[in-house]
Structure 1
Amino acid sequence: MEVQGDILDEFLQQQRSGRQGAQPTPCREQPEARAGPDNCRDSGDPSDFRIPVLPYGRHLVIDIKSTWGDRHYVGLNGIEIFSSKGEPVQIASIQADPPDINILPAYGKDPRVVGNLIDGVNRTQDDMHVWLAPFTPGKSHSVSIDFSHPCHVALIRIWNYNKSRIHSFRGVRDVEILLDAQCIFHGEIAKASGTLTGAPEHFGDTILFTTDDDILEAIFRSDETFDVDTGGPCSLPCEEPLRRPSTADGDSEERPYTQAGLWAQVPEVELPCSAPVSEVTTPEPGVYHGICLQLNFTASWGDLHYLGLTGLEVVGKDGQALPISLHQISACPRDLNDLPEYTDDSRTLDKTGTWRRAPPHPFLAPCFL
């Protein structure tokens, strides 16, 4: 079945607009059901693949092929499945391979286990309601679900990993979904936003296996997702501040440690009022003259512990980069070696000499809030 856009979103939009008397018009007529191959990779040209209409079965496998960029971990927030009756499918068991990060030597009681995917708490950043497992490129990664009874599947909603904007890159990207060994979907799952506000499409993807109006209306009546107020952020309980995690060197393939627990709430920092700055007039608009350039960093892109740069370049009025020597640069804190647990980390201030310096040559320093 090939559908342009999301027919369920269109249907729900009309429901919310009060058009109770009118039925939504599908994007196109419902095609005939086509039996999918036993394996998604046997389908040849991906453009020839058609999502089957109301596939029937009992054993569902989500085969994860890639993440949104994280090389070490893969995770999900939740999975919802609705039958052709418009009701949530009753799940008998759920397993994952690898099961979770507790198979790694450094873990043992991490709460991010696969059972969290079906606990009904999906719009969250709480580690008690998500799943996280080690990811190794080229290896098998999958989630397997057994239904209590065979049924026709009408909708699958995948809530991607949503811990934060940074950690959302651990979410699944390319997947293949099989029902009783028959391929029913292969494609890309949207990355989660890393926030707690927004519509469901900001947290993953909804896969439809029907455009039947009666089934969609039945799903709408039993779908609790749209009962959640998406207008404001959910309040998270206070937790003790997390200890600063260790950071893996960029040259190493070592899997970095990931710590479970809620993000520490960051208090709003009130900067002291500074004296009014007199307007600066320059001989040429946009060109300033001086001897000391100071950059004050007030926030990172979400990391509570570290702040870094790949390089820094200052361009003169002729468009050429100004020469900068190491003795002309200082930073506070200077780099990671200011911390007691670091002594010879290579991500030092001299790596900021130019933006054109290719990774892995970044500068990294501890961040104090």
Structure 2
Amino acid sequence: MADTSENSPEDGTDCNGAEPMGRFEIPELPSGRTLRFILLSTWDDPHFIGLNTIEVFAANGQRPEIERVETNAKESFGPLESLMYEHGRWPCTDPQRMWTARCDGMTEPVYIIITLKEDECIAMIRVWNYDQSRVYALRGVRDLRIELDGQPIFQGEISCAFTSNSDVHPMGDTILFTTDEAILEKIAENDVCLVDDEVVTSSLDLFAIDPDTRVTNSPSTTSLTSAIVHRPSTGDRKKLRSASRGAPEERVTGAIAEMSVERPSVAPVVDVERDVSELPSVKVLHMELTENWGSPDCIGLTGLQFLGPKGVMLDATGCQITASAASETAQRLLNGRNLTRNRDDMWLISFAPNGPPPRITVTFPEPVPLIGICVWNYNASPEMSYAGVRSAQLYVNGKPIMGSILLRKAPGYVYFDFVQDIAFNKCILFRPLSRPNTRSINGFIYQLQLLSTWGDEFYIGLNGIEFYDHQDQLIKVHPQNLAAFPESVNILPTVNGDPRTSENLIDGVNDTASASHMWLTPVLPNRYARIFVIFDLPTYVSQIRIYNYRKTPERGVRHITISVDDLIVFSGEVPPSSQEKTALLAVSLRE
């Protein structure tokens, strides 16, 4: 998942000393002669940074001729020229045929300059990351900036490489600078990933799935815009294709890891109809953090916002926020940058379970009526999400509000808005029911990972999903409880207004042949599609029913994994639909 925040090491730091930088639009067919690849950080190696191969394609579909390749690295290993793709040589795991350099002690980031023989219009760049082994793959580049004649044309995150120990071929990250189909066809004629060495996996070993493995039958590329290469039009797209086409960044963010499906800021748990006179007038709000999600020594949050009458977000300008520790960084909680994995936008302090609980204090300029608060838990990574707050005690003007409340763990990524709304009159008390009373699964976030299709390489879809509670009653899933990644085929630059959106998954019309009641999304290289059902309070589910895609059965889901709050509870195969019948998989979550 590409992250468009970029790192820039400070003087004297290692290559992972990072500073975020702003966003920009990927240009359409930038022209120039000198490419500079600035290697800003690694995946986890403090001393070395490296790459396997770089491929460049011009607007004529050919690889431009290279005049020279240079670097500012003081100490490097492997020939620098080996970075450039050679016909017949697939990027390998031989360290003698890759390039790596020492990055610790550098006063500026390591960079590589590729000078072309003449000016070219750049249509595509593919970067193959360092791939010697699973351990040394951490030397690979994580944050990368590319400049053409001094102008930035890309900034973002490069995937950590798969290795020879994987069941799939090594993969490269593809960056497109055009959506012109004629140019993409020319590139496809010369692209080793699409012609000579295309790898198509026909089956999937569910016991050997890497947590972030690509979807079966996907091309070996990773950027979102690359998903349109050789992608056929769907039946509904032919009549809905937009006549206009802008630069790739106008429709596609280019940052998969940070792409999110926005949910309304007010979930059903918040009572927005209360009379203003009934609301507490808050001058000082205290939040006492009593427990985290399991991290042994730290606790933190990403952001806070405040809900006024009728669920309106209040402006936090003028609010003073302090904390019992690290008060100087507590202001980050009110900076509004909540959908992020950037720890510089979060607040984190040391935490001892047996010590005094940390406290956050928000003082409003004037007393304001509040119905609740919005909380974004700590979200720096899936591992660090366990430093997020699990239970907290709220105080309004010094008086406690009921008992300790239960906060949802953040996912560690930004595939959806992970905000949790806490209403003062409906606090989620920290005393969940015991599982033996229900004999069903209990959790906040239910995730369906769609790992492969029944044969289609480009699209995957479902007719619908249903969730049943511990009394076998249908749970009403609202649009704000649902998120899909990718949201639908409408994320593609060439698609606009396709009716097969994610909300169709919960419209209740599941046994149907009508495309307007189905969901379809592109198969992204290096990624599998995901569906999230997110609750603001722990919800017991006894059964999940999955209705497979019927319009084109080959696009239906085949292998699926279901997890609840990071715990895998089911892995199996969804039967295929036919043109006449919608296939149904009923997954029991009872003990």
TM bracket (short chain):
0.3 to 0.5
Q: Structure with the greater relative contact order (CA < 8 A, sep ≥ 6): 1 or 2?
A: 1
Q: TM-score, normalised by structure 1?
A: 0.45
Q: TM-score, normalised by structure 2?
A: 0.29
The structure with the largest strand share of the pair is: 2
